[in-house]
Amino acid sequence: MAHVVIIGAGMSGMSLAWYLKALREDWRISVIEAHGRAGGKAWTETRDGFVIERGVNGVLDNKPFTLELAKELGLSPLRSRDAARKRFIVRSGRLMDLPDSPRSFLSSGCLSPAGKLRLLAEPFISQGDLEKDESLEDFAVRRLGREAYQYLIDPMASGVHAGNPQRLSLKSCFPRIHELERDYGSLIRAMLKLQAEARKKRRKGPSAGPGGVLTSFRNGISELADRLACALGGSLVLGCPVEEVDFRDGSWHIGLENGECMEDVSHVVVACPAHAAARLFRSSIPELAKPCASIEYPPIAVVAFGISANSVSSDLNGFGFLAPFVEKRGVLGALWDSSVFDNRAPAGYHLVRCLIGGMRNRHCLEQTDSSLKDIAYRELKSLCGFNRPPEFSAVFRWKRAIPQYNVGHAALLERLKMVVDRLPGLFIRCNWAGGVSLNDCIMNSRRLAGQIASGEVISGF
């Protein structure tokens, strides 16, 4: 009988186990997690009536994978309010509507007239070197102009990756954008043609904003993580750090920190962060460990405020705002969670989360909770009209938040793939390969489960 050991009980690891158990009831599936809880960064806390996400706050329904899994687990999704479609950026110390259509773009104050004209010249810009692993900054400045880069692309990169666009790889972070330039020669031409094709088929075409509707659950994203953990039952082992993974005598051996060893394991799936994976192989397979250790993760502090609506001059009617780096603000942005979802705050209160840190603020976690709260409050007072301190506050710290797909990431994964594919029964399935979003993680886990169960695995990635 096959024995599959999945190292890491984040959403990638647990969903993979769920799919494998459904496909191969005769196999033994074990999920081992170093920490005392499962779910990784899908983690909700409820305090004083506020439902607070420490990390991810939902998924977009334009990709069905996560919501299909939720349905299989018997969960009912919670769609975001219409207010969530409205997003803002900071410009000259004020919040500006982020345009999501050509018409709103023309009237928006997020770009100057010169910046708009430069962006509208995009169809006349020649293609770049499509073989080059280009940084997000280089691509955006080349195609859209520096101002559009600073006020549209840079904040998007900070919001999704908490990264530095000077280092982030366009191909790895936003492969669809790279494909549009390759296939159409222009992003604007691509959007116009795709919208025309969609109209012919009576479908909704692409927009400038994120596609789909943000969706979560009534008691937060932890509902999904908790239901998965419950469904896995005895297959899930918490508080059990793995010390080493080694392949010898035709099978895998997994040494645990408590001195025990799991032997004769047929399949090993590494579903933990890259830095943790590096430790697993540091002695046994160093050619795996070194590339894993080179993947960077920025620190992020999440500062949550619960405040009476009477204490805020703005209605906070929207998703929230992003702060472009050029504006030199103290936060990456803020999410107005109580405007996005029902049930996030008691009646008459707002719940707002500020994000501080990222790759360009690597020392943020050296500050005290009090200092982080002061930074967030000053920004919200200036930008959102907070006129008195909040009644509730909390700080959550992520020392390593989001894996960075920097220039060279694809080549790094290719090197890893060459090593993994030489080792029978070894697989990599985590958010540092294949996409950082929860939807990507669930989709990739479902695909890998099918390949492992059928024995038709093309690659360990």
CB atoms within 10 A of CB 87: 20
Q: What is the CATH number of domain 113-200?
A: 1.10.3110.10
Q: What is the CATH number of domain 44-83+298-398?
A: 3.90.660.20
Confidence at residue 199, expressed as pLDDT on a 0 to 100 scale? 82
Beta partners for 267?
Answer: 4
Structure tokens at 46: 């409820």
Structure tokens at 413: 């994964």
Where b means 16+ CB within 10 Å and e means fewer, 376-397 reads bbebbeebbebeeebebbbbbb
Structure tokens at 44: 């909700």
Confidence at residue 210, expressed as pLDDT on a 0 to 100 scale? 62
Residues of the chain with CATH 3.90.660.20: 44-83+298-398
Full-model pTM = 0.94
Structure tokens at 80: 């975001």
CB atoms within 10 A of CB 136: 29
Show the low-confidence residues of the chain (pLDDT under 70).
204-210, 458
Quote the DSSP letter at residue 75. Answer: P
Confidence at residue 235, expressed as pLDDT on a 0 to 100 scale? 97
DSSP letters spanning 349-410? EEEEEEEEE-TT-TTGGGS-HHHHHHHHHHHHHHHH-B-S--SEEEEEEESS-S---BTTHH
Confidence at residue 205, expressed as pLDDT on a 0 to 100 scale? 61
- Type of residue at 341: F
Residues of the chain with CATH 3.50.50.60: 3-36+238-296+404-454
Q: Are 241 and 247 in contact (CB under 8 A)?
A: no
Confidence at residue 461, expressed as pLDDT on a 0 to 100 scale? 72
- Taking the C-alpha atoms of residue 281 and residue 242, their distance in angstroms, rounded to an integer, is 11
Residues of the chain with CATH 1.10.3110.10: 113-200
- The pLDDT tens digits for 61-91 are 988 999 999 999 999 999 999 988 899 999 9
Domain 3-36+238-296+404-454: which CATH number of 3.90.950.10, 3.40.50.1240, 3.50.50.60, 3.40.605.10:
3.50.50.60
User: CB-based contacts of 39: which residues, under 8 Å, 6+ apart?
Assistant: 9, 10, 11, 14, 222, 225, 226, 228, 229
- The pLDDT tens digits for 284-298 are 999 999 999 999 999
CB atoms within 10 A of CB 363: 8
